[in-house]
Protein backbone atom coordinates (compact mmCIF):
# COMPACT_ATOMS: atom_id res chain seq x y z
CA UNK A 1 0.00 0.00 0.00
CA UNK A 2 1.46 3.41 -0.97
CA UNK A 3 2.02 6.00 1.77
CA UNK A 4 -0.52 8.44 0.27
CA UNK A 5 -3.19 5.76 0.04
CA UNK A 6 -2.46 4.71 3.62
CA UNK A 7 -3.10 8.30 4.73
CA UNK A 8 -6.71 8.15 3.53
CA UNK A 9 -7.49 4.63 4.70
CA UNK A 10 -9.77 3.93 7.62
CA UNK A 11 -8.41 1.35 10.08
CA UNK A 12 -10.84 -1.11 8.54
CA UNK A 13 -9.42 -0.63 5.05
CA UNK A 14 -5.90 -0.87 6.44
CA UNK A 15 -6.74 -4.15 8.09
CA UNK A 16 -8.03 -5.40 4.76
CA UNK A 17 -4.37 -5.73 3.73
CA UNK A 18 -3.48 -8.07 6.57
CA UNK A 19 -3.76 -11.87 6.44
CA UNK A 20 -6.58 -12.77 8.81
CA UNK A 21 -6.68 -15.35 11.60
CA UNK A 22 -10.02 -17.09 12.19
CA UNK A 23 -11.18 -19.31 15.04
CA UNK A 24 -13.97 -21.67 13.97
CA UNK A 25 -15.70 -23.92 16.51
CA UNK A 26 -16.85 -27.37 15.40
CA UNK A 27 -14.67 -27.38 12.28
CA UNK A 28 -14.28 -31.14 11.89
CA UNK A 29 -17.54 -31.80 10.05
CA UNK A 30 -20.67 -30.36 8.45
CA UNK A 31 -20.99 -26.60 8.03
CA UNK A 32 -17.98 -25.75 10.25
CA UNK A 33 -15.72 -28.03 8.19
CA UNK A 34 -16.90 -26.41 4.97
CA UNK A 35 -16.33 -22.89 6.36
CA UNK A 36 -12.82 -23.87 7.52
CA UNK A 37 -11.95 -25.31 4.10
CA UNK A 38 -13.39 -22.33 2.23
CA UNK A 39 -11.65 -19.77 4.46
CA UNK A 40 -8.28 -21.51 4.16
CA UNK A 41 -8.62 -21.70 0.34
CA UNK A 42 -9.26 -17.95 0.37
CA UNK A 43 -6.20 -16.81 2.29
CA UNK A 44 -7.46 -16.92 5.87
CA UNK A 45 -5.43 -18.80 8.49
CA UNK A 46 -7.87 -21.07 10.31
CA UNK A 47 -7.76 -22.53 13.79
CA UNK A 48 -10.54 -25.08 13.78
CA UNK A 49 -11.81 -26.81 16.90
CA UNK A 50 -12.91 -30.39 17.39
CA UNK A 51 -13.80 -32.36 20.50
CA UNK A 52 -11.64 -35.32 19.37
CA UNK A 53 -8.08 -36.00 18.25
CA UNK A 54 -9.48 -37.73 15.18
CA UNK A 55 -11.29 -34.50 14.28
CA UNK A 56 -8.13 -32.44 14.78
CA UNK A 57 -6.25 -34.77 12.42
CA UNK A 58 -8.96 -34.34 9.79
CA UNK A 59 -8.80 -30.53 10.14
CA UNK A 60 -4.98 -30.56 9.89
CA UNK A 61 -5.10 -32.68 6.73
CA UNK A 62 -7.62 -30.31 5.11
CA UNK A 63 -6.04 -27.02 6.15
CA UNK A 64 -2.53 -28.19 5.22
CA UNK A 65 -0.25 -25.33 6.29
CA UNK A 66 -2.86 -22.54 6.49
CA UNK A 67 -3.90 -23.23 10.07
CA UNK A 68 -4.55 -26.28 12.20
CA UNK A 69 -6.96 -28.02 14.51
CA UNK A 70 -7.20 -27.78 18.30
CA UNK A 71 -9.17 -29.88 20.76
CA UNK A 72 -11.91 -27.91 22.48
CA UNK A 73 -15.10 -28.87 24.25
CA UNK A 74 -17.06 -25.60 24.44
CA UNK A 75 -18.83 -26.89 27.55
CA UNK A 76 -15.57 -26.46 29.44
CA UNK A 77 -15.23 -22.79 30.29
CA UNK A 78 -11.62 -22.94 31.45
CA UNK A 79 -10.61 -24.74 28.26
CA UNK A 80 -12.15 -21.93 26.17
CA UNK A 81 -9.94 -19.36 27.88
CA UNK A 82 -6.89 -21.62 27.60
CA UNK A 83 -7.46 -22.22 23.87
CA UNK A 84 -7.91 -18.52 23.15
CA UNK A 85 -4.76 -17.65 25.12
CA UNK A 86 -2.86 -20.31 23.19
CA UNK A 87 -3.96 -18.76 19.88
CA UNK A 88 -2.93 -15.28 21.09
CA UNK A 89 0.50 -16.63 22.03
CA UNK A 90 0.96 -18.34 18.67
CA UNK A 91 -0.62 -15.79 16.30
CA UNK A 92 -0.97 -12.59 18.35
CA UNK A 93 -4.65 -12.03 17.47
CA UNK A 94 -7.96 -13.55 16.45
CA UNK A 95 -9.51 -11.39 13.69
CA UNK A 96 -12.55 -13.56 13.01
CA UNK A 97 -14.58 -15.72 15.40
CA UNK A 98 -17.11 -18.16 13.93
CA UNK A 99 -19.38 -19.64 16.62
CA UNK A 100 -20.59 -22.70 14.75
CA UNK A 101 -20.49 -25.69 17.14
CA UNK A 102 -23.83 -26.81 18.45
CA UNK A 103 -25.84 -29.85 19.57
CA UNK A 104 -29.45 -30.86 19.80
CA UNK A 105 -31.13 -33.24 22.22
CA UNK A 106 -34.77 -33.42 21.21
CA UNK A 107 -37.80 -34.17 23.35
CA UNK A 108 -41.23 -32.76 24.08
CA UNK A 109 -41.17 -30.30 26.99
CA UNK A 110 -43.38 -32.66 28.96
CA UNK A 111 -40.79 -35.44 28.67
CA UNK A 112 -37.59 -33.42 28.54
CA UNK A 113 -35.09 -34.14 31.31
CA UNK A 114 -33.38 -31.22 33.08
CA UNK A 115 -30.02 -32.54 31.85
CA UNK A 116 -31.28 -32.44 28.21
CA UNK A 117 -32.26 -28.81 28.74
CA UNK A 118 -29.06 -27.82 30.62
CA UNK A 119 -26.66 -29.49 28.20
CA UNK A 120 -28.08 -27.79 25.10
CA UNK A 121 -28.26 -24.38 26.80
CA UNK A 122 -24.67 -24.72 28.01
CA UNK A 123 -23.25 -25.92 24.68
CA UNK A 124 -25.15 -23.70 22.25
CA UNK A 125 -25.66 -20.52 24.27
CA UNK A 126 -23.50 -20.19 27.40
CA UNK A 127 -20.38 -21.01 25.37
CA UNK A 128 -20.95 -17.79 23.39
CA UNK A 129 -20.64 -15.74 26.56
CA UNK A 130 -17.12 -17.09 27.14
CA UNK A 131 -15.93 -17.28 23.52
CA UNK A 132 -17.02 -13.73 22.70
CA UNK A 133 -15.91 -12.29 26.05
CA UNK A 134 -12.35 -13.60 25.70
CA UNK A 135 -12.03 -12.73 22.02
CA UNK A 136 -13.39 -9.18 22.02
CA UNK A 137 -10.86 -7.71 24.47
CA UNK A 138 -8.04 -8.23 21.97
CA UNK A 139 -10.23 -7.32 18.98
CA UNK A 140 -11.01 -4.05 20.80
CA UNK A 141 -7.30 -3.34 21.17
CA UNK A 142 -6.69 -3.77 17.44
CA UNK A 143 -9.96 -1.96 16.70
CA UNK A 144 -11.03 -4.62 14.26
CA UNK A 145 -12.93 -7.88 14.40
CA UNK A 146 -15.63 -10.01 12.83
CA UNK A 147 -17.91 -12.28 14.87
CA UNK A 148 -20.37 -14.56 13.10
CA UNK A 149 -22.64 -16.94 15.00
CA UNK A 150 -24.66 -19.72 13.43
CA UNK A 151 -28.29 -19.81 14.55
CA UNK A 152 -31.10 -21.82 12.91
CA UNK A 153 -34.49 -21.32 11.29
CA UNK A 154 -35.83 -23.18 14.37
CA UNK A 155 -34.80 -20.14 16.45
CA UNK A 156 -37.38 -18.02 14.62
CA UNK A 157 -40.12 -20.53 13.76
CA UNK A 158 -39.93 -22.93 16.73
CA UNK A 159 -40.25 -26.70 16.26
CA UNK A 160 -42.13 -29.34 18.23
CA UNK A 161 -39.67 -31.40 20.28
CA UNK A 162 -36.86 -28.84 20.11
CA UNK A 163 -37.68 -26.37 22.88
CA UNK A 164 -34.10 -26.39 24.21
CA UNK A 165 -32.52 -26.03 20.77
CA UNK A 166 -34.94 -23.31 19.58
CA UNK A 167 -34.39 -21.35 22.82
CA UNK A 168 -30.64 -21.31 22.21
CA UNK A 169 -31.01 -20.41 18.56
CA UNK A 170 -33.25 -17.42 19.26
CA UNK A 171 -31.10 -16.51 22.28
CA UNK A 172 -28.17 -16.19 19.88
CA UNK A 173 -30.05 -13.48 17.98
CA UNK A 174 -30.66 -11.40 21.14
CA UNK A 175 -27.10 -11.96 22.34
CA UNK A 176 -25.77 -10.79 18.98
CA UNK A 177 -27.83 -7.59 18.96
CA UNK A 178 -26.37 -6.41 22.27
CA UNK A 179 -22.89 -7.65 21.38
CA UNK A 180 -23.01 -5.67 18.11
CA UNK A 181 -23.93 -2.47 19.99
CA UNK A 182 -21.21 -2.92 22.61
CA UNK A 183 -18.37 -3.61 20.18
CA UNK A 184 -19.32 -1.31 17.29
CA UNK A 185 -17.28 1.66 18.64
CA UNK A 186 -14.19 -0.56 18.33
CA UNK A 187 -14.63 -1.42 14.64
CA UNK A 188 -15.95 -4.89 15.39
CA UNK A 189 -19.02 -6.29 13.63
CA UNK A 190 -21.21 -9.11 14.97
CA UNK A 191 -23.75 -10.91 12.84
CA UNK A 192 -25.81 -14.09 12.80
CA UNK A 193 -26.33 -16.51 9.94
CA UNK A 194 -29.50 -18.55 10.29
CA UNK A 195 -29.59 -21.67 8.08
CA UNK A 196 -32.73 -23.53 6.99
CA UNK A 197 -32.37 -27.23 6.19
CA UNK A 198 -28.78 -27.92 5.17
CA UNK A 199 -27.49 -31.22 3.84
CA UNK A 200 -25.09 -32.30 6.65
CA UNK A 201 -24.81 -35.13 9.19
CA UNK A 202 -27.56 -33.38 11.18
CA UNK A 203 -30.10 -33.74 8.33
CA UNK A 204 -28.92 -37.21 7.17
CA UNK A 205 -30.75 -38.56 10.23
CA UNK A 206 -34.13 -37.52 8.75
CA UNK A 207 -36.26 -40.32 7.26
CA UNK A 208 -37.65 -40.04 3.70
CA UNK A 209 -41.07 -38.89 4.94
CA UNK A 210 -39.47 -36.07 6.99
CA UNK A 211 -37.28 -35.06 4.02
CA UNK A 212 -40.31 -34.95 1.70
CA UNK A 213 -42.18 -32.85 4.25
CA UNK A 214 -39.32 -30.34 4.56
CA UNK A 215 -38.83 -30.13 0.76
CA UNK A 216 -42.51 -29.28 0.28
CA UNK A 217 -41.91 -26.19 2.49
CA UNK A 218 -38.82 -24.92 0.65
CA UNK A 219 -39.69 -22.58 -2.24
CA UNK A 220 -36.28 -23.16 -3.90
CA UNK A 221 -37.08 -26.90 -3.86
CA UNK A 222 -33.77 -28.18 -2.52
CA UNK A 223 -31.93 -28.55 0.76
CA UNK A 224 -29.14 -26.07 1.29
CA UNK A 225 -25.52 -27.06 0.87
CA UNK A 226 -22.86 -26.28 3.48
CA UNK A 227 -21.27 -24.05 0.83
CA UNK A 228 -24.46 -21.90 0.73
CA UNK A 229 -23.74 -21.04 4.38
CA UNK A 230 -19.97 -20.63 3.91
CA UNK A 231 -20.54 -18.09 1.13
CA UNK A 232 -22.52 -15.82 3.46
CA UNK A 233 -20.19 -16.35 6.43
CA UNK A 234 -17.21 -15.50 4.22
CA UNK A 235 -18.89 -12.33 2.97
CA UNK A 236 -19.75 -11.20 6.53
CA UNK A 237 -16.12 -11.87 7.53
CA UNK A 238 -14.79 -9.72 4.72
CA UNK A 239 -14.09 -6.05 4.24
CA UNK A 240 -17.09 -5.90 1.84
CA UNK A 241 -19.41 -6.34 4.85
CA UNK A 242 -17.81 -3.65 7.01
CA UNK A 243 -21.08 -1.67 7.36
CA UNK A 244 -23.25 -4.65 8.36
CA UNK A 245 -23.66 -5.40 12.05
CA UNK A 246 -26.27 -6.70 14.49
CA UNK A 247 -28.03 -8.52 11.63
CA UNK A 248 -29.45 -11.98 11.19
CA UNK A 249 -29.12 -13.27 7.63
CA UNK A 250 -31.55 -16.07 6.80
CA UNK A 251 -30.18 -18.66 4.36
CA UNK A 252 -33.06 -21.07 3.89
CA UNK A 253 -34.22 -21.25 0.26
CA UNK A 254 -37.22 -19.04 1.06
CA UNK A 255 -38.58 -21.23 3.87
CA UNK A 256 -38.94 -18.24 6.18
CA UNK A 257 -38.91 -14.47 5.57
CA UNK A 258 -38.17 -11.92 8.23
N1 LIG B 1 -27.57 -28.84 9.20
C2 LIG B 1 -28.65 -28.08 9.28
O3 LIG B 1 -29.68 -28.34 8.62
C4 LIG B 1 -28.67 -26.87 10.17
C5 LIG B 1 -29.80 -26.07 10.15
C6 LIG B 1 -29.85 -24.94 10.94
C7 LIG B 1 -28.76 -24.60 11.73
N8 LIG B 1 -27.66 -25.39 11.73
C9 LIG B 1 -26.55 -24.98 12.61
O10 LIG B 1 -25.33 -25.01 11.89
C11 LIG B 1 -24.26 -25.31 12.78
C12 LIG B 1 -23.50 -26.50 12.24
O13 LIG B 1 -24.39 -27.59 12.10
P14 LIG B 1 -24.01 -28.92 11.30
O15 LIG B 1 -25.21 -29.30 10.54
O16 LIG B 1 -22.73 -28.76 10.59
O17 LIG B 1 -23.89 -29.93 12.53
P18 LIG B 1 -22.89 -31.13 12.79
O19 LIG B 1 -23.54 -31.97 13.84
O20 LIG B 1 -22.49 -31.78 11.51
O21 LIG B 1 -21.61 -30.39 13.42
C22 LIG B 1 -21.65 -29.81 14.71
C23 LIG B 1 -20.24 -29.48 15.15
O24 LIG B 1 -20.29 -29.03 16.50
C25 LIG B 1 -19.29 -29.72 17.25
N26 LIG B 1 -19.65 -29.83 18.66
C27 LIG B 1 -20.73 -30.42 19.21
N28 LIG B 1 -20.67 -30.35 20.57
C29 LIG B 1 -19.54 -29.67 20.88
C30 LIG B 1 -18.92 -29.27 22.09
N31 LIG B 1 -19.46 -29.54 23.29
N32 LIG B 1 -17.76 -28.59 22.02
C33 LIG B 1 -17.21 -28.29 20.83
N34 LIG B 1 -17.73 -28.65 19.64
C35 LIG B 1 -18.88 -29.34 19.67
C36 LIG B 1 -19.21 -31.09 16.58
O37 LIG B 1 -17.99 -31.74 16.91
C38 LIG B 1 -19.31 -30.70 15.12
O39 LIG B 1 -18.05 -30.31 14.64
C40 LIG B 1 -24.90 -25.56 14.15
O41 LIG B 1 -24.84 -24.39 14.91
C42 LIG B 1 -26.34 -25.90 13.79
O43 LIG B 1 -27.23 -25.61 14.85
C44 LIG B 1 -27.59 -26.52 10.97
Domain membership of residue 10 (yes or no) is no
Regions of the chain where pLDDT drops below 50:
1-9, 14
Domain membership of residue 86 (yes or no) is yes
Q: Of 82, 75, 78, 100, whose CA–CA distance to 23 is shortest?
A: 100
Domain membership of residue 221 (yes or no) is no
Instruction: Please tell me the predicted confidence (pLDDT) of residue 65.
Output: 86
- Chain centre to alpha carbon of residue 138: 19
- Find the domain containing 130 and state its range: 21-198+226-249
Number of domains, the chain:
1
Domain membership of residue 205 (yes or no) is no
Whether 165 is a known active-site residue: answer yes
Instruction: Please tell me the predicted confidence (pLDDT) of residue 204.
Output: 81
Domain membership of residue 207 (yes or no) is no
168: domain CATH number is 3.40.50.720
Domain membership of residue 168 (yes or no) is yes
Instruction: Please tell me the predicted confidence (pLDDT) of residue 7.
Output: 35
205 C-alpha to ligand 1 centroid (Å) = 13
| Best residue among 23, 31, 215 to mutate for probing ligand 1, ranked by most atoms within 8 Å of CB | 31
79 C-alpha to ligand 1 centroid (Å) = 19
162 C-alpha to ligand 1 centroid (Å) = 15
CA dist 147 to 188, 205, 222, 246, Å?
A: 8, 30, 28, 10
Instruction: Please tell me the predicted confidence (pLDDT) of residue 1.
Output: 36
Question: CB within 6 Å of ligand 1 — which residues?
Answer: 25-26, 28-32, 49-51, 72-75, 100-103, 123, 150, 152-153, 195, 197-198, 200-203
Strand ranges, E, within 21-66 = 21-24, 45-50
Domain membership of residue 242 (yes or no) is yes
Domain membership of residue 66 (yes or no) is yes
Ligand 1 nearest-atom number relative to CA 229? 10
Amino acid sequence: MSKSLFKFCTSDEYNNEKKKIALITGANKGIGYNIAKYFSRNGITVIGTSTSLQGVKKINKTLKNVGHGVILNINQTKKIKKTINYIYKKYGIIDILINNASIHSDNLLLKMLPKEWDNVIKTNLSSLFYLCKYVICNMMKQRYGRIITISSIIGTTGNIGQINYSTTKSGIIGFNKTLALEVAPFGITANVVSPGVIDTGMTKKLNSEQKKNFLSKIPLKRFGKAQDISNVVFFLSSHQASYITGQTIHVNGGMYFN
